[in-house]
Amino acid sequence: MTTLFHTLGITDIWQLVAATMVFLMLPGPGTFCVLTCAGQRGLRGGFASLAGLMVGDAVLMFLAAIGVAALLQANPLLFKGMQYLGAAYLAWLGFRLLTAKAEEGGAVVPFSSAADFRRGLLVTMINPKAIVFYMAFFPLFIDPAMHRGVATFLSMGAVIATCTLFYGSLLVLVGNGAAKRLARNRRIASFASKAAGVFLIGFGIKLTTN
């Protein structure tokens, strides 16, 4: 499978999957939105909010892909520099996770009176950092020499969407009660965040040395 994705211009599919899963497992508005909808309205509410999250992600990935593709075509050298900036961005995110203090709460989800799908969509779309993340994330896994344009970005988007569907389904089906308890346990939540921070810093360093 690695060879197949490499022919599409994706440098390391398993690193892409691992990095995506780490980001998905970090507690955030999207996670709490899915948990809240599942807790209030059961499976239907949970999967409806998850669908909204995935549609929102698809829109942001499309916008980011347009920018990355334009940069790759216009200036390959600048694109290479963006890859290093992306690696530095991941390391910076990891450093912030390592140094962040545990916070109470965080599970408040806005738009409580809206439909579950709309809640998931809006929680994603109102996050201005998401498109910046994708702009930094996509170049890390693209081989400019093997790049296949739309096919490359569609493949990366499909991988990210599959990871999101897998993890989101786990939250809805079996993770609801457990995830809520973990969210209330500051010690476990802090350890998970710091472990993710170490991973992101190491991942960023590895990418710059490849």
Q: Could you read off the pLDDT tens digit of each residue along the chain, which spans 210 residues?
A: 777 787 888 888 888 898 888 888 876 677 777 877 787 677 888 899 899 999 988 988 888 888 777 776 677 677 677 667 767 776 787 787 788 765 544 443 444 435 788 888 877 877 656 767 787 788 888 887 787 778 888 898 999 999 999 999 988 887 666 555 655 666 766 776 677 678 778 767 766 665
Residue 56 and residue 39: Cα distance in Å, rounded?
22
pLDDT the model gives residue 35 = 77
Residue 47 and residue 193: Cα distance in Å, rounded?
26
pLDDT the model gives residue 176 = 61
pLDDT the model gives residue 43 = 82
Residue 36's nearest CA partner among 113, 149, 137 is 113
CB 158 within 8 A of CB 61: no
Within 10 angstroms of residue 159's Cβ, the number of other Cβ atoms is 17
pLDDT the model gives residue 208 = 65
User: What pLDDT digit, counting tens, does each position of 135-182 carry?
Assistant: 778 888 888 778 777 888 889 899 999 999 999 998 888 766 655 565
pTM of the entire structure? 0.67
